[in-house]
């Protein structure tokens, strides 16, 4: 970074400001969860059951995963900036469609189209990796996602309040305004950071096997996928648990949702502060162990007869804390396996992560029926957390056998400033 010009906000001839990167990563997260407290009410509005409306999470994640397979190679070939501009404009059109949808089928179609905004999450990470290396990238991504965590922390709470004041459509109106702001920021502040490569788009896709043959890539990707799987299962099942098990109204449910995001913000702070010092594999291991403790604690509380919502929602702060430690470091690991394919690796890794999340979200929604309580959801979360621990142990074994990544830079106490 010392060779780059000083950052000037709203000047795309300099590296993008950290606020722009935070909002780029935050809008997809906001789109994913701002309307969750309204799901039971939306089911009543469209005259359908909760399971169908819960697909607005699972289908969104599924399309999200498929798109990430293409976003990486396209951005590596044509650049980060044009892909971000086009995708954000398409997101605005899809959001307007959600607001105006006359039935559940059209709503779900436009909801799937909203997934195009995942480019912000994928390419904000790739932009960081364009500018800094390995553990420094993990540290920088930690700071970016720490700021990003503020968005989903307040999103469900704001969505619940908007629902009670103006109806469920107000949450999508807020997304429309936020999307317009992000589009303006991309135009004014984010220049091109990718290095131009004389490889055709088809050539970019043909480079996928280079990543797929890497055992380290798979280790990092699966660690991220299983760790985030616990959170995506939570997204799919928590609205049911809040409304049916604890009888919470949308505004209160939105506030309880924010507890997990608060933990995520704390985990991202720890990643930003300690990733360079501890190393990415150490941070991933500690993070997966912390997240795995959450469903065990909640199960113990329910077994002891706890009935307060904090016995479930309060403990989810540990899932957020663990994921905040795990995901920036696992992402940096994926991107550092083949640095010249940073965008492709971000997209492929994200597709694996989000695709698994889509399945787990749908599974949670299917298993939670009246009378089951939160137990099926907690069982899913515990299983995926343990698999995340095994995945990072696999990467550590590869390091012992083959040595660490060659690209690891000398340790520094703090990440470079954008």
* Residue 311 lies inside a defined structural domain of this protein: yes
Q: Is the pLDDT of residue 294 over 50?
A: yes
Better-scored residue on pLDDT, 305 or 371: 305
Lowest mean pLDDT among 51-60, 202-211, 373-382, 384-393: 202-211
The share of the chain scoring above pLDDT 70, in percent, equals 83
Range of the domain at 51: 18-196+205-402
* Residue 410 lies inside a defined structural domain of this protein: no
Tokens of 229: 């799987």
Q: Is the pLDDT of residue 54 over 80?
A: no
Better-scored residue on pLDDT, 319 or 255: 319
pLDDT, mean of residues 212-237: 86
How big is the CA angle at 403 (ends 402 and 409), to the nearest 5 degrees? 145
pLDDT in the model for residue 284: 94
pLDDT band at 103 (very low <50, low <70, confident <90, very high): very high
Distances (CA, A) of 91 to 29, 57, 76, 181, 328: 13, 16, 21, 12, 25
Lowest mean pLDDT among 239-253, 291-305, 359-373, 384-398: 359-373
pLDDT in the model for residue 196: 62
Better-scored residue on pLDDT, 266 or 134: 266
pLDDT band at 414 (very low <50, low <70, confident <90, very high): very low
Better-scored residue on pLDDT, 181 or 134: 181
Residues whose CB is less than 8 angstroms from the CB of residue 31 and which lie 6 or more positions away in sequence, other chains included: 60, 91, 95, 114, 117, 175
Domain count, the chain: 1
The whole-angstrom separation of Cα 284 and Cα 384 is 14
The whole-angstrom separation of Cα 150 and Cα 132 is 24
The whole-angstrom separation of Cα 356 and Cα 301 is 28
Mean confidence (pLDDT) of the chain:
81
Cα(first)–Cα(last) distance of the chain, in Å? 8
Residue among 187, 220, 228, 201 nearest 11 (CA):
187
Question: With a threshold of 0.85, does the pTM exceed it?
Answer: no
Radius of gyration of the chain (CA): 20
Better-scored residue on pLDDT, 201 or 69: 69
pLDDT band at 223 (very low <50, low <70, confident <90, very high): very high
Q: Is the pLDDT of residue 202 over 70?
A: no
Phi, psi for 177 (deg, rounded to 5) = -65, -45
* Residue 5 lies inside a defined structural domain of this protein: no
CATH number, domain with residue 311 = 1.20.1250.20
* Residue 388 lies inside a defined structural domain of this protein: yes
* Residue 416 lies inside a defined structural domain of this protein: no
* Residue 9 lies inside a defined structural domain of this protein: no
Q: Is the pLDDT of residue 156 over 90?
A: no
Q: Is the pLDDT of residue 343 over 70?
A: no
pLDDT in the model for residue 26: 86
Residues whose CB is less than 8 angstroms from the CB of residue 267 and which lie 6 or more positions away in sequence, other chains included: 287, 290, 320, 321, 322, 323, 324, 325, 326
pLDDT digits 0-9 by tens, 81-91: 899 999 999 99
pLDDT in the model for residue 144: 72
* Residue 7 lies inside a defined structural domain of this protein: no
Q: Which helix (H) or strand (E) holds 177?
A: helix 169-189
pLDDT, mean of residues 354-373: 74
pLDDT in the model for residue 417: 35
pLDDT band at 135 (very low <50, low <70, confident <90, very high): low
Better-scored residue on pLDDT, 361 or 296: 296
pLDDT in the model for residue 73: 76
* Residue 314 lies inside a defined structural domain of this protein: yes
Q: Is the pLDDT of residue 413 over 50?
A: no
pLDDT in the model for residue 411: 36
The whole-angstrom separation of Cα 97 and Cα 268 is 34
The whole-angstrom separation of Cα 176 and Cα 30 is 11
3-class DSSP state of 245: helix
Better-scored residue on pLDDT, 25 or 88: 88
The whole-angstrom separation of Cα 56 and Cα 409 is 42
pLDDT, mean of residues 292-311: 92
Residues whose CB is less than 8 angstroms from the CB of residue 113 and which lie 6 or more positions away in sequence, other chains included: 63, 90, 93, 94, 97
pLDDT band at 312 (very low <50, low <70, confident <90, very high): very high
pLDDT in the model for residue 205: 66
pLDDT in the model for residue 148: 61
């Amino acid at each position: 970074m010392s060779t780059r010009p000083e950052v000037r906000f709203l000047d795309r001839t300099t590296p993008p400001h950290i606020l722009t990167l935070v909002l780029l990563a935050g809008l997809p997260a906001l789109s994913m969860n701002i309307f969750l407290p309204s799901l039971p009410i939306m089911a009543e509005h469209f005259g359908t059951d909760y399971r169908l409306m819960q697909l607005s999470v699972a289908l969104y994640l599924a399309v999200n995963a498929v798109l990430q397979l293409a976003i990486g190679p396209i951005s590596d070939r044509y650049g980060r900036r044009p892909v971000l501009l086009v995708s954000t404009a398409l997101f605005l059109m899809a959001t307007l469609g959600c607001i105006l949808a006359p039935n559940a089928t059209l709503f779900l179609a436009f909801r799937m189209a909203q997934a195009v905004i995942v480019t912000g999450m994928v390419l904000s990470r790739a932009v960081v990796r364009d500018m800094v290396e390995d553990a420094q990238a993990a540290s920088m991504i930690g700071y970016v996602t720490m700021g990003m965590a503020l968005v989903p922390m307040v999103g469900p709470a704001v969505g619940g309040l908007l629902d009670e004041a103006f109806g469920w459509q107000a949450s999508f109106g807020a997304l429309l305004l936020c999307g317009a702001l992000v589009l303006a920021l991309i135009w004014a502040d984010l220049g091109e950071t990718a290095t131009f490569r004389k490889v055709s788009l088809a050539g970019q896709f043909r480079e996928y096997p280079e990543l797929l043959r890497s055992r380290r890539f798979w280790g990092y990707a699966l660690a991220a996928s299983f760790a985030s799987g616990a959170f995506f299962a939570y997204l799919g099942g928590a609205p049911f648990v809040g409304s049916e098990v604890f009888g919470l109204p949308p505004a209160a449910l939105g506030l309880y949702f924010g507890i997990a995001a608060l933990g995520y913000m704390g985990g991202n702070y720890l990643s930003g502060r300690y990733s360079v010092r501890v190393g990415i594999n150490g941070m991933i291991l500690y993070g997966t162990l912390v997240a795995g403790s959450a469903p065990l604690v909640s199960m113990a509380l329910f077994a002891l007869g706890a009935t307060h919502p904090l016995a479930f929602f309060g403990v989810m702060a540990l899932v957020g804390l663990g994921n905040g430690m795990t995901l920036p470091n696992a992402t940096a690991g994926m991107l550092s396996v083949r640095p010249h394919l940073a965008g492709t690796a971000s997209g492929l890794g994200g597709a694996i992560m989000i695709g698994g999340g889509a399945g787990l979200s749908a599974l949670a929604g299917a298993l939670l029926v009246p009378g089951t309580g939160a137990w099926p959801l907690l069982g899913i979360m515990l299983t995926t957390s343990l698999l995340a621990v095994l995945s990072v142990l696999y990467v550590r074994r590869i390091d012992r056998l083959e040595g660490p990544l060659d690209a690891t830079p000398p340790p520094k106490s703090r990440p470079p400033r954008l």
